[in-house]
């Protein structure tokens, strides 16, 4: 059994001592850069009573032929996931003429379930302790409530009924159940899933199951996300074993890692973790009540899809991504794999697909190029398009008019 050294004990004590201070919501709310703050440009409200914060990145030169882009982050994170690097994907999308919407999923950022606990939970967010009444949500709730709420919000703001949806990890996984369960799947014009699979090629995933169980246990007494925030200031011994599930160290700048722990890390939610446990044991993502095997319905998913995988991803590995991709029913689907074996500049892990120092020149342009090829283009002006009546009327002297 490994005994902690005096230095390790000191680091652990310092982490606990700082957890309340660094865990406070005020630190994020008052961040120097808006890219590091919780989404608060606008708010959308779900039918089941959650307030969702939204941030917009408006293009300097909007392209009227391009649909808005919604970016959705993964489990245990918030929307700053997309913006803790300098040359980030939202800025590149906006530069390409897209209007971009980021939003914090329920129980992340400063979102809250409205009601009697809201004020008390605001206080708890300044401490290492969990909020009350905000732990029972599942992936299915995100599909049923958060996604339609965001689609309606974007439509109200832009007039567009359809969007391009770009999701990382859980933010992409939710698209597969949405396409199967929604009455309006057509509202997703194009889908990009980055590190998003709903099949595990190898089971059981013992390291991730152990992590899942550990976080659930910790969640009974404290907020795992806020307890982790002192890591923005220093690294504790043994953290490399945890970090490798998130990213490949040499592919990500140290400042990005610091911002991740300080501004992006959130509580996964015990009910969501319980829903993921069978997936990690048996390999197929199921509904929270175990009645629907979402993987079995992949042939019903026909939206144009780009799947992006990292060669060194330990959470959504390449074999799992291929299995998910091959079962998709979409006639327009593309798989891109990034890593040294593919000639890429770096070894791409799970979050590296967005955080890597090479992503702005390797991954983001590929995603934007794929989206550009599938946009509807500008609507023709009334002057350039004959009315249906004129188009259907035979011209004088034509065979139909003789």
- Please give the share of the chain, as a percent, with pLDDT higher than 70: 88
Whether the per-residue pLDDT at 258 is higher than 90: the answer is yes
- Alpha carbon 317 to chain centroid, angstroms: 17
Q: Which residue segments constitute the domains of the chain, with CATH numbers given?
A: 26-394 (3.40.50.1820)
Greatest mean pLDDT range, 10-24, 207-221, 318-332: 318-332
What confidence tier does 215 reach under pLDDT thresholds 50, 70, 90?
very high
What is d(CA 307, CA 375) in angstroms, rounded to the nearest whole number?
Answer: 18
What pLDDT, on the 0 to 100 scale, is given for residue 292? 98
Q: What is the pLDDT of residues 346-359, one digit of tens each?
A: 999 999 999 999 99
Whether the per-residue pLDDT at 370 is higher than 50: the answer is yes
Q: What is the pLDDT of residues 147-162, one digit of tens each?
A: 999 999 999 999 999 9
Whether the per-residue pLDDT at 79 is higher than 50: the answer is yes
What confidence tier does 394 reach under pLDDT thresholds 50, 70, 90?
very low
Whether the per-residue pLDDT at 372 is higher than 50: the answer is yes
What is d(CA 135, CA 129) in angstroms, rounded to the nearest whole number?
Answer: 13
Lowest mean pLDDT among 246-250, 361-365, 390-394: 390-394
Whether the per-residue pLDDT at 369 is higher than 50: the answer is yes
Whether the per-residue pLDDT at 240 is higher than 90: the answer is no
What pLDDT, on the 0 to 100 scale, is given for residue 246? 94
pLDDT mean over 195-224: 94
Tell me how far CA of residue 339 lies from CA of 60, 144, 314, 319, 344, in angstroms: 33, 35, 13, 14, 5
Q: At a CB cut-off of 8 Å and minimum separation 6, what does 259 contact?
A: 36, 80, 84, 232
Q: What are phi and psi of 266, to 5 degrees?
A: -135, 180
What pLDDT, on the 0 to 100 scale, is given for residue 382? 52
What confidence tier does 379 reach under pLDDT thresholds 50, 70, 90?
confident
Q: Would you call 165 helix, strand, or coil by DSSP?
A: strand
Instruction: Enter the tokens of residue 11.
Output: 């680091």
Q: What is the pLDDT of residues 98-149, one digit of tens each?
A: 999 999 999 999 999 988 688 888 888 888 888 888 889 999 999 999 999 9
What confidence tier does 383 reach under pLDDT thresholds 50, 70, 90?
low
Average pLDDT in the chain: 89
Instruction: Enter the tokens of residue 298.
Output: 């992949």
What pLDDT, on the 0 to 100 scale, is given for residue 291? 97
pTM of the model: 0.89
Lowest mean pLDDT among 9-13, 79-83, 362-366: 9-13
CA dihedral 150, 156, 159, 160 (to 10 degrees): 10
pLDDT mean over 22-26: 64
Whether the per-residue pLDDT at 4 is higher than 80: the answer is no
Whether the per-residue pLDDT at 402 is higher than 60: the answer is no
pLDDT mean over 188-209: 97
Place of tokens 């995988």: 309
Among candidate residues 313, 178, 179, 309, the one with its CA nearest the CA of residue 246: 313
CB 293 within 8 A of CB 286: yes
Is the bond leading into 109 cis (omega within 30 degrees of zero)?
no
Name the CA radius of gyration of the chain, rounded: 23
Q: Where would I find the H helices in 23-137?
A: 25-29, 89-95, 118-124
Q: What are phi and psi of 353, to 5 degrees?
A: -55, -25
Tell me how far CA of residue 108 lies from CA of 73, 160, 247, 261, in angstroms: 10, 26, 21, 14
Whether the per-residue pLDDT at 33 is higher than 50: the answer is yes
Q: Where would I find the H helices in 202-355?
A: 206-219, 224-227, 239-246, 254-259, 270-282, 318-327, 352-355
What pLDDT, on the 0 to 100 scale, is given for residue 18? 46
Whether the per-residue pLDDT at 168 is higher than 90: the answer is yes
Q: What are phi and psi of 348, to 5 degrees?
A: -95, 120
Among candidate residues 335, 323, 370, the one with its CA nearest the CA of residue 203: 323
Among candidate residues 231, 163, 236, 230, the one with its CA nearest the CA of residue 7: 236
């Amino acid at each position: 059994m490994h005994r902690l050294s005096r230095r390790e004990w000191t680091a652990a004590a310092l982490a606990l001592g700082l957890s309340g201070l660094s865990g406070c919501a005020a630190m994020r709310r008052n961040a120097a850069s808006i890219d590091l703050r919780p989404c608060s440009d606008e708010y959308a409200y779900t039918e089941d009573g959650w307030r969702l914060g939204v941030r917009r990145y408006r293009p300097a030169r909007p392209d009227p032929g391009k649909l808005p882009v919604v970016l959705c982050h993964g489990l245990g994170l918030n929307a700053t996931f997309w913006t803790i690097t300098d040359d980030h994907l939202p800025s590149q999308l906006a530069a390409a003429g897209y209007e971009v919407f980021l939003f914090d999923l329920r129980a992340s950022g400063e979102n809250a379930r409205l009601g009697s606990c809201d004020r008390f939970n605001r206080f708890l967010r300044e401490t290492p302790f969990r909020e009350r009444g905000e732990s029972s949500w599942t992936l299915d709730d995100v599909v049923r409530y958060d996604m339609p709420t965001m689609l309606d919000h974007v439509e109200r703001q832009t007039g567009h009924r359809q969007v391009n949806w770009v999701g990382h990890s859980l933010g992409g996984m939710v698209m597969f159940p949405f396409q199967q369960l929604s009455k309006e799947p057509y509202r997703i014009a194009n889908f990009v899933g980055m590190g998003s699979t709903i099949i595990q090629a190898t089971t059981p995933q013992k390291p991730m199951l152990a992590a899942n169980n550990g976080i659930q246990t910790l969640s009974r007494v404290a907020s795992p996300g806020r307890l982790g925030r002192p890591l923005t200031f220093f690294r504790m011994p043994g953290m490399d074993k945890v970090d490798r599930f998130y990213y490949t160290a040499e592919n990500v700048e140290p400042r990005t890692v610091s911002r991740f722990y300080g501004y992006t890390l959130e509580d996964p939610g015990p009910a969501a973790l319980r829903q993921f446990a069978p997936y990690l044991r048996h390999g197929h993502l199921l509904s929270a009540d175990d009645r629907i095997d979402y993987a079995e319905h992949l042939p019903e998913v026909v939206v144009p899809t780009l799947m992006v995988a990292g060669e060194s991803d330990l959470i959504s590995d390449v074999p799992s991504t291929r299995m998910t991709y091959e079962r998709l029913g979409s006639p327009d689907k593309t798989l891109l794999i990034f890593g040294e074996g593919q000639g890429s500049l770096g070894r791409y892990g799970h979050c590296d697909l967005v955080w890597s120092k090479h992503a702005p020149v390797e991954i983001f342009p590929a995603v934007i190029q794929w989206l550009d090829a599938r946009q509807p283009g500008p609507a023709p002006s009334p002057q350039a398009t004959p009315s249906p009546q004129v188009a259907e009327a035979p011209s004088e002297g034509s065979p139909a008019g003789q």
